Amino acid sequence: MATHSLPSLLVCLAAAGLGLGAQAQVVRCTDTRTGKVTYTNGACASGTTAREVEARKTPEEIQRERELAAEALERKQQRLQAEAHAAQTEALRSAERDRSRAAQAAAAPQPQDYARSPECAQSRRQLDLVANSTSRTPYEQDVRMEAAQRQVDLDCLGPQGAAEVEKARAAQPRVVVVPPVVRPQPVVPVNPPSTTPTRRNVRCNVFRCTDDQGNTYPAPGLGK
């Protein structure tokens, strides 16, 4: 005779697939002296009162319970297999998506590095040449510097970057310095100083004239 607590006895019966045959039952045994309660699938010990908790079952009932337990176990196994198959399928799909993204990323054209291009280096050198040039007027120098800077933006930043810089430049206030108009100055003739000294107290004869400073001049009429 086996004596168990009720929960453990029920668990044992379920685990054994109700394999106790037609005599399967659960009896509650209570000790009349101590009040201790035990459960058994047979007869209670002497000195205890017995009360049937679960009635005896017919072989048909036991067989039906076995079939129901087997069906429940089979459904559980099928559910676990379906969940495992779904998880495996999702893992394969996820791996396939990752491979597809990697292939698309590898096939996509890489962005061009304009800052390292030969065109950028050449336009920078041209900007330096213009900046160091001093052979033009300030207005012409500013125009050339602006054009060279725009070329640097295009070659070193690319069309999109140059467009953004140009947009920001257009939003800033622009100060235009108009070069002054250089008008030609009139040429004023300069009269050479007279080579004829001022004559004072001139005394003349038929051939020459003499002033009071001792200078001698041809007489009037002789030089014609």
Tens digits of residue pLDDT in 99-154: 999 988 888 777 788 888 899 999 999 989 888 887 678 888 888 888 999 999 99
Measured CA to CA, the distance from residue 147 to residue 125 in angstroms comes to 13
**Strand-pair category, 208-210 with 216-218:** antiparallel
Three-class secondary structure of residue 178 per DSSP: coil
pTM confidence score: 0.33
Rounded-to-10 torsion of CA 92, 95, 101, 103? -100
Tens digits of residue pLDDT in 66-93: 999 999 999 999 999 999 999 999 999 9
Measured CA to CA, the distance from residue 117 to residue 145 in angstroms comes to 21
Domain parsing of the chain, residue ranges: 3-57, 69-108, 114-171
Residue 39 pLDDT > 90, yes or no? no
